[in-house]
Structure 1
Amino acid sequence: MAGGLSFVDAINWPSGQGTGDDRYGFDESAGTAWVVDGATDIGTMRLFPDALVAGAGQALGWESDAAWYADRLSERFTRPPGRDEPARAYLESVIRDIAAMARSEASVPIDGQPRHNLPSAGGIWMRRQQDTLEIATLGDCMAFVDTGGQCEIVGDVEGIREEYRRWGETMRGGDREAGFAQARDMRNRMNTDGAHWVFSLHPEAAQHAELTRIGLRGDSSILLMSDGFFRLVEPYGAYDAAGLMTAARDEDGLSRLAAELRQREQNPEDDAAMGRLKTSDDACALLVAIS
């Protein structure tokens, strides 16, 4: 059975005004689902700025390059892979298509831009194949998979912990700008050997996607989330994986969890201690079920 997936609940709560940089989507018939976390703009030039509609005075475009990328990537995921197409080959074709769209839609030439000006995103994508769940990750999105009463974590938890430690050390001197300078340096090295691999405009990143295959045992629940929603686990420690899954499956569970998250992001003075480069982050989560 290729599909057999059903939507349960979702939340996409931007940290500020507008749509934010996170997206989610699913295709019940294809058995696919995904969450995309657009990487906050930290460059020196907008590639996909808003434009005014002539005579209407209305903005047409994207509030950030990150939002452009998240929109385009989520839209592209609505075209599922072929039945026997390997996940990494599929992701490579997805990134190649996004890169072509970027070159066509950007307001300035993209080739030659420093990497910190290029749009990018973390993302997690899954599909059901018969009695197996396949999950591919690039970046710091996460998944909790409860199948047969066993909850499994998919994603780089230790990498997220290290990131919070690093930001905390940088900002304890009171210089948030140093944190963003460090982020630009990291962005300049994305999708290069020895650095981190994410969704951007480099098809070769697909070969570095982490693939996880989980055998399905009876009814299963899968919670996909951006790192902003995962804050409830790291660094806040309010839930472990099993506890978050239980809370998410309650009525209005994701909405209540997101509201709890926002309550924990009220005080910017906590940023250095928590290792938060941003006091509040976009939070996105998608809960689906397989039976």
Structure 2
Amino acid sequence: MPNIRIIDSITAPGSISRPNEDSAGGNATCAFVIDGATGLGGDSLLGLHGSDAAWLARFAQSTFEELARNGRPMTDVVRELNQRAANVVHEAAPALPIEPWNLPVASFQMVRIEGDDIVTHGLGDCRLFLLGTDGGTFSTSAIKGASAQERDGARAAIAHAGGFATHQALADAPGVREELRRHRAGYNRTGGSVWTLGIEPSAAEHLVTERLEPSLPARGLLCSDGFAALVDQYGRYDIAEFVGAATTAGLAPLLAELRHIELTEDPDGKQFPRFKVSDDATAVFFEIVA
């Protein structure tokens, strides 16, 4: 039976003026990363942790660590997590008319040992990068092509809003915010393509699950899209190089490199279009052994 061990983890907010809406964790059989989606200017439903997204990220972390044990099916875990979150939200805000775009949502990616199998589960745009001992690589996300979609949307938003000189987060620009609200209102809806952690238990039926067969021992990185940008948006590493850099130097130098690109090399987003100068960035570096 394989075993998973977390070697290192790191998380940092995109700005000291905003709460960190990422989280990460694990237990004896899994490791995971969670990325809460920044609110789009509506009333806070909960008033906790500085943002509803930050609350959901931490709520999901503790719930995963509690429930993702003893071989319990992940569909059951996600369904119960989202039902619990729905109970909290509706109890905290019973009198508020909750706009669909104002509901807390979060992405996640998990690697889990299930008997003799190694499996990854996810919803949303977090990332997994895996390197086997034979040099074979694998990467995935629950939303395929999410990084390209994000880049194209950011390029249009920068053109509309006038860049980061006007808005450090492009979602603050009214025209961009309205388009993002329209898009997010379609999350977790029948017939929609984006399902997340949040308050919709039926998102469990849309869980993206893939069996992994790396040569062991294997090492990997679970990342929020803000950290995975080193590969997906900025092109500084391929999969093997990315995992190799974490192995040789740890995660702190990778985070420092990420911030140098965003704050020094491309602070205006012209070379690498994005919705914020810097996003929250979280990574978990883990090893799987036989």
Q: Aligned partners of 1:102, 1:23: CA distance in 2, in Å?
A: 19
Q: Aligned partners of 2:262, 2:216: CA distance in 1, in Å?
A: 38
* 1:266-291 Cα distance to aligned partner (Å, 9 max, x none): 16753255221111100000011111
CA contact (8 A) 1:135 1:212 kept: yes
Report the counterpart of residue 261 of structure 2 in structure 1: 264
Q: Aligned partners of 1:43, 1:206: CA distance in 2, in Å?
A: 27
Q: Aligned partners of 1:254, 1:11: CA distance in 2, in Å?
A: 7
The answer to whether 1:146 aligns with 2:131 is yes
* 1:179-208 Cα distance to aligned partner (Å, 9 max, x none): 222211111111112341111100111111
Helix, strand or coil: the match of 2:236?
coil
Q: Aligned partners of 2:219, 2:95: CA distance in 1, in Å?
A: 40
Report the counterpart of residue 162 of structure 1 in structure 2: 149
Q: Aligned partners of 1:239, 1:129: CA distance in 2, in Å?
A: 30
CA contact (8 A) 2:130 2:137 kept: yes
- Structure 1 residue runs of 4 or more that deviate by more than 6 Å after TM superposition: none
CA contact (8 A) 1:11 1:284 kept: yes
How far residue 173 of structure 1 moved from its aligned partner, in angstroms, is 3.2
- Give the total of aligned pairs: 274
Report the counterpart of residue 120 of structure 1 in structure 2: 105
What TM-score does the superposition give when structure 1 sets the normalisation length? 0.87
Q: Aligned partners of 2:244, 2:70: CA distance in 1, in Å?
A: 33
2:232 is matched by which residue type in structure 1?
E
How far residue 121 of structure 1 moved from its aligned partner, in angstroms, is 0.7
Report the counterpart of residue 78 of structure 1 in structure 2: 65
Report the counterpart of residue 167 of structure 2 in structure 1: none
Q: Which runs of 5+ in 2 are unaligned?
A: 163-169
What TM-score does the superposition give when structure 2 sets the normalisation length? 0.87
CA contact (8 A) 2:157 2:275 kept: no
How far residue 13 of structure 1 moved from its aligned partner, in angstroms, is 1.1
1:21 is matched by which residue type in structure 2?
E
Helix, strand or coil: the match of 2:161?
coil
Report the counterpart of residue 52 of structure 1 in structure 2: none
Helix, strand or coil: the match of 2:67?
coil
Distance 1:131 1:84, change over 3 A: closer
How far residue 215 of structure 1 moved from its aligned partner, in angstroms, is 2.2
How far residue 102 of structure 1 moved from its aligned partner, in angstroms, is 2.5
The answer to whether 1:22 aligns with 2:22 is yes
Helix, strand or coil: the match of 1:281?
coil
How far residue 80 of structure 1 moved from its aligned partner, in angstroms, is 3.1
How far residue 47 of structure 1 moved from its aligned partner, in angstroms, is 1.0
Report the counterpart of residue 235 of structure 2 in structure 1: 237
Q: Aligned partners of 2:208, 2:57: CA distance in 1, in Å?
A: 20
Q: Aligned partners of 2:131, 2:196: CA distance in 1, in Å?
A: 26
Moved more, 32-41 or 173-182: 173-182
**Percent identity at matched positions?**
29
Q: Aligned partners of 1:110, 1:70: CA distance in 2, in Å?
A: 24
CA contact (8 A) 2:112 2:120 kept: yes
Distance 1:269 1:229, change over 3 A: closer
Report the counterpart of residue 135 of structure 1 in structure 2: 120
RMSD: 2.0
How far residue 7 of structure 1 moved from its aligned partner, in angstroms, is 1.6
Report the counterpart of residue 186 of structure 1 in structure 2: 183
Helix, strand or coil: the match of 1:198?
coil
CA contact (8 A) 2:56 2:104 kept: yes
Moved more, 273-282 or 10-19: 10-19
Distance 1:112 1:203, change over 3 A: farther
How far residue 84 of structure 1 moved from its aligned partner, in angstroms, is 4.2
CA contact (8 A) 1:11 1:255 kept: yes
How far residue 76 of structure 1 moved from its aligned partner, in angstroms, is 0.4
The answer to whether 1:246 aligns with 2:238 is no
Distance 1:169 1:273, change over 3 A: farther
